[in-house]
Amino acid sequence: MNKLKLNLGPQHPSTHGVLRLILELEGEKILSCEPDIGYLHRGMEKMAEKLSYIQYLPLVDRIDYLAGFFYSELLCRTVEKALNIELSKRVKAIRLILLELNRMASHLLWIGAFLMDLGAVSPFFYAFRERELILQYFEKVSGQRMMNNYFVFGGVRRDIEFLEDIEEILKILPEKVNDYEKLITENPIFIQRTKNKGILDKNTAFNFGITGVNLRASGVELDFRSGDYLYEGIEFKPVVLDGCDSYTRYRARVQEIRESIKIISQALEILKSEKDLNQNLLNPFTLSLPEGEYIQEIEAPRGLASVYIKSTGEKTPYRFKWRTGSYYSVNLLRKLLKGAYLNDAIAISGSLDIILPEVDK
Amino acid sequence: MFKKIGYLLLSMFIVFKHLFKRPVTLEYPEKKNIPPENFRGKPVVENCLGCGICLRVCPSGAITIDRENKLYKIDLKKCIFCGNCAYYCPHSAVKMSKEYELGVDNRENLVLSYPMGGADERN
């Protein structure tokens, strides 16, 4: 049979950005897959070398537009740890609540987009409707829906308000998630298209550097939240499922939303008992890290995100490096799509939750 | 077989339940979204003293201060609405307004220029 080379993307609507997959086909079977990235490269790391830390902070939200809080928290955390700054309990609780709300918003969008990839339209609108509640809350608190720029070095921009909005979100979401589960989890078409498709076993996941939900859906208990200083004194259970396929990755994300709801309700109690916001705000004009290398990490919705800063003691870093989860998931497509059928290609790549601005940086 | 029929009935029930709810979208040009209090829209400058702190925190270099003509200029083509200038302004001269409809028919109109009267009035 003749072999055919097919370009999937970079303008394909299901690739969530501009991902180009060069597929080699024999009939409908994929012989090899070569991801081509870089269409969304903005020079995030090089830009950091020219800008001071406070100038770079608003740009960090744009690395992953669906989880901007995580990256600004990561940069703030690196600077704070380097300068040995302690955060008060209220600031920690505020950050924790916003991070977990952001994780829920990110997972909700993924549910909608993934189901849209498979051809189901209704869950897309339902998920976006619930995500809108969270985004409107972000807008009230920080001033914008996605590019929040709310965390600053040593604290937050202003005290958190409108706690009743969070309580309402926490009240509404569990029912809605139940509705999604009734609608999606038992759906015969959904099961046929995702069960035993895109199987990612433990060893492959380790070899390709996969972290986050994708790894936990392969039965590995590795959640960087458990050692995180924001999550001290908060009880939660990492979602670990044994299934290794697209279907399990969907179930793991839905369960993570429920887990986030529990975390937020615990953090709300801390927030209510700690009234004063003791911020240790740093002066942004004299801010510079002492000479040395600094690494920090955080569990973002799409896997482990970490930052490496090399400083020479000046006001701008000497070298800045981001490690993002999606980059490794894109690389994994080489392995997962090999031997799969063309009509499963989008279903498998969608299940890994790839965000292209995070890949290209 | 019965399981599948049961699933179908349940899913139809859920879809119809959502169908008869109120719409969540806004018919935009007729009804306008009212942004919340802290919204970061078009930057507005009043009584700027020209200390230049905003120049040092702006990530995109959108702000220029024309000291000869006493004009404070913000280039909306470069501005990313991060709000750093408003947050760090010591006299609260720069504020982020609630205005979000910023389309113009001429590129030059995208450069906002505000008079810098503050210093003269004090002297």
Domain boundaries, chain B: 2-122
- Give tens-digit pLDDT for A49-78: 888 888 898 988 888 888 889 999 999 989
Q: Give the CATH number of domain A3-360.
A: 1.10.645.10
B7 with A187: Cβ contact below 8 A: yes
| pTM recorded for the entire structure | 0.89
User: Can you say whether the dihedral through the CA atoms of A94, A299, A61, A249 is positive or negative?
Assistant: negative
Determine the distance in angstroms separating the CA of A245 from the nearest CA of chain B, rounded to an integer.
22
> Does the structure show a pLDDT above 70 at B110?
yes
Q: Measured between CB atoms, does A182 come within 8 Å of chain B? A: yes
What's the confidence (pLDDT) of residue A272?
A: 85
> Does the structure show a pLDDT above 50 at A15?
yes
Q: What is the DSSP letter of B108?
A: G
- The mean pLDDT of A81-92, rounded to a whole number, is 87
**Which ranges constitute the DSSP H helices of A51-121?**
53-60, 68-82, 89-117
**CA count, 13 A, side-chain hemisphere, A297:** 16
A182 with B15: Cβ contact below 8 A: no
**Chain A interface test: which of B13, B19, B22, B57 (most A C-beta within 10 Å):** B57
- The mean pLDDT of A117-137, rounded to a whole number, is 87
> Which of A18, A30, A23, A19 lies closest to A7 in space, CA to CA?
A23
The residue of chain A with its CA nearest to that of B55 is A55
- Give tens-digit pLDDT for A41-54: 888 888 888 888 88
Return the exposure string of A219-244: e unless at least 16 CB atoms fall within 10 Å of the residue's CB, then b: ebebbbbeebebbeebeeebbbbebb
- The mean pLDDT of A199-210, rounded to a whole number, is 88
Q: B36: buried, middle or exposed (CB in 10 Å: 19+, 13-18, 0-12)?
A: middle
Q: Helix, strand, coil % (nearest 5) of chain A?
A: 50, 15, 35
Domain extents in chain A? 3-360
The residue of chain B with its CA nearest to that of A136 is B36
> Does the structure show a pLDDT above 50 at B122?
no
- Name residue B45's beta-bridge partners: B94
B18 with A158: Cβ contact below 8 A: no
**Chain B interface test: which of A144, A147, A190 (most B C-beta within 10 Å):** A144
> Does the structure show a pLDDT above 70 at A361?
yes
Determine the distance in angstroms separating the CA of B120 from the nearest CA of chain A, rounded to an integer.
27
Return the exposure string of A1-23: e unless at least 16 CB atoms fall within 10 Å of the residue's CB, then b: eeeeeeebbbebebbbbbbbbeb
Which chain B residues have a beta carbon less than 8 Å from that of A188?
4, 7
Instruction: Specify the 3-state DSSP secondary structure of A349.
Output: helix
Q: Model ipTM?
A: 0.84
- Give tens-digit pLDDT for B42-75: 888 888 888 888 888 888 888 988 888 888 888 9
- The mean pLDDT of A289-301, rounded to a whole number, is 89
Cα angle for residues A326, A330, A332 (degrees, 5° grid): 115
What's the confidence (pLDDT) of residue B123?
A: 41
Q: Which residues of B touch A (CB under 8 A)?
A: 4, 7, 10-11, 14-15, 18, 24, 35-40, 53, 56-59, 80-84, 87-88, 96
Structure tokens belonging to residue B103 = 């389309």
> Does the structure show a pLDDT above 70 at B119?
no
CB distance A54 to B55 below 8 Å: no
CATH architecture of B2-122: 2-Layer Sandwich (3.30)
- Which range is least confidently modeled, A13-17, A100-104, B92-96? A13-17
Return phi, psi of residue B45, to 5°. -120, 130
- Give tens-digit pLDDT for A316-344: 889 889 988 888 988 888 888 888 888 88
The mean predicted confidence, pLDDT, of chain A is 87
Look-up: residue for tokens 């029912």?
A175
The residue of chain B with its CA nearest to that of A137 is B36
B39 with A144: Cβ contact below 8 A: yes
